[in-house]
């Protein structure tokens, strides 16, 4: 898989990134550690050398699983993790980073990201300058190689960038969820900030495996995802029907088509989670699909069947 630069750093990332929210188990059902470890390793072997995790995924459990899967090839892998919104004071950032280093069994983190802006989920408001000062200090120490932000608006991204180099933005972004395109994407393109799209398959909706009457376990976070509800869900099914002939032309799955479209967007890379090794191998193959300009435009228009009817909220869930 052809590598890309992370922002303006010298870090080389794979355009498909292994997502490990599910590895933390919390807010997911039916996840087994052994399966996740195997999937992360198979992803690495298939060319997905970049893995994204966070301290809040199972309170460090996801980070520990990543370490179990990749410690022996650490020097060939790129680790991205995140500090949560309740740990954004200077000392808290330093402590959180040290915990993540321990969980990941490494002495450096390639990309360290602010998971959510301060103030969300009833967290204390901390000036972004204070958080960035801590991140800059960690970078000077060599504990982290690059700084990123996640779930930031353009305005929040611009403010953070006043206090240090930001090399990535991690927003929810898929063919069915495109808020970032009209908000932060132009700024990212102009400033060479990599976009690491999460929920790049709209939490599995773009795989086409959920029928019109599917119901999620209430403990599954997708039960509250706006895209799986009411008319949004009906429109998604219509769009998927229109995408199927394009996927058939490329002899690929709907998921692979959606990922291929996404990584063809400006500055964009796709984080994709997986429950098993087959999903990982399929995700990796998406990196080899070449879509023509006409096909990209056709897929773009089909996606708007869903996105043109969504509200202006950047949050994908009714939490």
Instruction: With cut-offs at 50, 70 and 90, classify the pLDDT of residue 271.
Output: very high
CA distance 238 to 241: 5
DSSP readout, 203-271? GGGGGT-S-TT----TTSGGGGBGGGSHHHHHHHHHHHHHHHHHHHHTT--HHHHHHHHHHTSTTEEEE
Checking if the pLDDT of 221 tops 90, the result is no
What percent of the chain is modeled with pLDDT above 70? 97
Contact 287, 261 (CB under 8 A): no
Q: Does some domain include residue 311?
A: no
Q: Does some domain include residue 64?
A: yes
Q: Please tell me the predicted confidence (pLDDT) of residue 317.
A: 85
Q: Does some domain include residue 232?
A: no
Q: What is the CATH number of the domain that holds 127?
A: 3.20.20.100
CA distances from 308 to 47, 195, 213, 304 (A): 35, 22, 23, 5
Catalytic residues: 57
C-alpha closest to that of 81 among 128, 48, 113, 41:
113
* Model pLDDT for residues 90-128, shown as the tens digit of each residue: 999 999 999 999 999 999 999 999 999 999 999 999 999
Q: Please tell me the predicted confidence (pLDDT) of residue 83.
A: 98
Q: Does some domain include residue 219?
A: no
The predicted model scores a pTM of 0.94
What is the overall mean pLDDT for the chain? 94
Tokens 């000077």, residue located: 140
Non-local (6+) Cβ contacts of 138 within 8 A are 93, 94, 97, 112, 144
* Model pLDDT for residues 128-163, shown as the tens digit of each residue: 999 999 999 999 999 999 999 999 999 999 999 999
Q: 266 is in which domain, residue-wise?
A: 4-204+256-289
Contact 61, 23 (CB under 8 A): yes
* Model pLDDT for residues 51-91, shown as the tens digit of each residue: 999 999 999 999 999 999 999 999 999 999 999 999 999 99
Q: Does some domain include residue 275?
A: yes
The tally of domains found in the chain comes to 1
Q: Does some domain include residue 152?
A: yes
């Amino acid at each position: 898989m052809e590598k890309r630069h992370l922002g303006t750093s010298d870090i080389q990332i794979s355009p498909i990134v292994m997502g490990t929210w599910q590895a933390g188990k919390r807010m997911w059902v039916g996840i087994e550690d052994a399966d996740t470890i195997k999937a992360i390793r198979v992803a690495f072997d298939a060319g997905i050398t970049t893995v994204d995790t966070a301290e809040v995924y199972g309170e460090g459990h996801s980070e520990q699983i990543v370490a179990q899967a990749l410690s022996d090839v650490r020097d060939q892998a790129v680790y991205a993790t995140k500090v949560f919104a309740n740990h954004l004071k200077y000392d808290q950032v330093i402590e959180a980073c040290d915990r993540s280093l321990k969980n990941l069994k490494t002495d450096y983190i390639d990309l360290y990201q602010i998971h959510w802006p301060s103030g969300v989920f009833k967290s204390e408001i901390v000036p972004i300058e204070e958080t960035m000062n801590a991140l800059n200090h960690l970078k000077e120490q060599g504990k982290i190689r690059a700084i990123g932000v996640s779930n930031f608006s353009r305005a929040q991204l611009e403010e953070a960038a006043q206090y240090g180099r930001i090399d990535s933005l991690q927003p929810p972004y898929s063919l069915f969820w495109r808020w970032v395109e009209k908000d932060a994407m132009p700024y990212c393109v102009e400033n060479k900030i990599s976009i690491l799209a999460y929920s790049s398959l709209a939490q599995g909706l773009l795989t086409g495996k959920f029928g019109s009457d599917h119901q999620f376990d209430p403990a599954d976070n997708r039960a509250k995802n706006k895209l799986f509800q009411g008319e949004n869900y009906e429109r998604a099914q219509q769009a998927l029907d229109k995408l199927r002939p394009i996927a058939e032309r490329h002899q690929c799955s709907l998921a692979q088509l959606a990922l291929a479209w996404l990584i063809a967007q400006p500055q964009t890379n796709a984080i994709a989670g997986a429950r098993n090794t087959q999903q990982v191998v399929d995700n990796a193959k998406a990196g080899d699909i070449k879509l023509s300009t006409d096909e990209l435009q056709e897929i773009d228009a089909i996606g708007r069947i869903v996105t043109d009817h969504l509200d202006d909220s950047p949050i994908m869930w009714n939490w």
